[in-house]
Amino acid sequence: MTKQVKYTIGVILFCEFLICLGMSLIFPVMPFIRNEYHFSAFDMGMMSSLFALVQFIASPIVGRMSDKMGRKPMLVWGLVVFSLAEFVFAATSKLWLFDLSRAVDGLSAAMFVPISMALAADITTRQQRAKVIGWLSAAFSGGLMLGPGLGGLLANISYKMPFWVAGVLGIVSALIAVFALPADSQEVIQSTTEHPEEELADSSWVQVKKMMTPALMVLFIMILVSAFGLAGFESIYSLYVNQVHHFNLGTIAAVLTVNGVLSLILQVFLFDRLVIWFGEVKIIRWSFFISVIGTLIVIYDHSHWQLFVATLIVYEGFDMLRPAITTLLTKMSEDNQGLLNGINMSLTSVGNIIGPLLSGALLDMNYQAPYLVVAGFMLVSFLITFGVSHEMKTA
């Protein structure tokens, strides 16, 4: 890995850490925002679903635009849009503006998350890919590790204070990206395409048809099916444990903080080794399996410390799952990484749209129903990984 590549990766990592720190500041206070303004669980689910809907629509479009226009402009504007969304959320007290803020947040996620992965894939070789994507996931986890605790402290001042601070962190990240991230023309692209200009001239749909191998189709189906389970668990977790198990703000923040520490260790020091030893498909398979077991414990066990441990098991499964799927996906097509990661994000958003809405509605009716459905979908995803394994052998 050259010095320029390491520098670029370092800037991306730092920006991702700051943006994820800003995002995670708000996690512990969402149940209390709900109580403060007398929102229902469905209202909170609607906010998450609007985020996912905009992300779903925008991700492939923005990804393809970044293939043609460059990664840096999209990353910078994604950070600016994130800041604007957080400032709106902090300033308002009306439900429709909360919803608008989350929708704009979805646009920012479409502009930053898949594009940062695409840039990392552009400038690294297949051998370096798992390590770098593991680092990106670690930056994500590092932000999650510090954010909830800091968000809990800021919430003592005001429930809106974490959103103001998140917006400021977004502006700081945008400035760093503007001045520190090299221009796209200075990057060395690791492409195997013999005629890159012809590839970029093709429409998005033509490119999708060209790269849609049987193995890639199965992987996309697995992403789509699994996204519902992941979103269903994550979107209502703080609401669920606050309502059912009476976790307070400090306990919720502690769970998310400990999860961040463990995720950081796993992704920085173990993920690359696990990929070498077992391969991405096995990591994905067993991550789903342990998440199913952990979710069932969360449903049926009412001891606080066992719930704490079970939650960590589920989240660590998720934290291994995300980089494993992304690494496998980037290896299956070396070119058009913006479009490819955009489709990945878009398919994930389909599950993110349905999951929070259904989980929020089910939580209003029966506290066990949401996670029973989540466990079922993750079990289906576990079974689908056997299909991925077969297709990968014939790819």
> Residue 292 is part of a domain; what is its CATH number?
1.20.1250.20
pLDDT higher than 50, residue 302:
yes
Q: What is the mean pLDDT of residues 2-23?
A: 80
In a domain, 192, yes or no: no
pLDDT confidence tier of residue 334, bands split at 50, 70 and 90: low
Alpha-helical (H) ranges within the chain are 3-25, 30-37, 41-69, 71-91, 95-122, 126-155, 161-180, 196-201, 204-211, 214-244, 249-265, 271-278, 280-300, 304-331, 337-365, 369-394
pLDDT higher than 60, residue 201:
no
pLDDT confidence tier of residue 84, bands split at 50, 70 and 90: very high
In a domain, 134, yes or no: yes
In a domain, 55, yes or no: yes
pLDDT confidence tier of residue 346, bands split at 50, 70 and 90: confident
Element (H, E) at 27: none
Say how many domains are in the chain. Answer: 1
pLDDT higher than 70, residue 120:
yes
pLDDT confidence tier of residue 198, bands split at 50, 70 and 90: very low
Cβ contact 231:52 at 8 Å: yes
What span, in angstroms and rounded, lies between the C-alpha atoms of 378 and 384? Answer: 10
Give the count of beta carbons closer than 10 Å to the beta carbon of residue 156: 9
Domain interval for residue 331: 3-184+198-394
What span, in angstroms and rounded, lies between the C-alpha atoms of 195 and 189? Answer: 13
Higher per-residue pLDDT: 353 or 283 = 283
pLDDT confidence tier of residue 188, bands split at 50, 70 and 90: low
Q: Which residues does 341 contact at the CB level (< 8 Å), separation at least 6?
A: 59, 63, 114, 115, 117, 118, 121, 326, 329, 330
Give the lowest-confidence range in 148-152, 166-170, 364-368: 148-152
In a domain, 177, yes or no: yes
* Cβ density class 176-203: b for 16+ within 10 Å, e for less: bbeeebeeeeebeebeeeeeeeebeeee
Angle at 97 between CA 95 and CA 98, to 5 degrees: 60
pLDDT higher than 60, residue 278:
yes
In a domain, 144, yes or no: yes
pLDDT confidence tier of residue 175, bands split at 50, 70 and 90: very high
What span, in angstroms and rounded, lies between the C-alpha atoms of 196 and 178? Answer: 26
Q: Which of 128, 135, 378 is nearest to 234 (CA)?
A: 378
What span, in angstroms and rounded, lies between the C-alpha atoms of 291 and 375? Answer: 8
* pLDDT tens per residue, range 28-77: 777 777 788 888 878 877 877 787 788 778 888 888 788 777 888 888 99
pLDDT higher than 50, residue 195:
no
In a domain, 100, yes or no: yes
pLDDT higher than 80, residue 152:
no
In a domain, 193, yes or no: no
Output DSSP code: residue 186. G
In a domain, 59, yes or no: yes
Higher per-residue pLDDT: 189 or 237 = 237
Question: Residue 246, by phi and psi: left (phi above 0), alpha (psi -120 to 50) or beta?
Answer: left
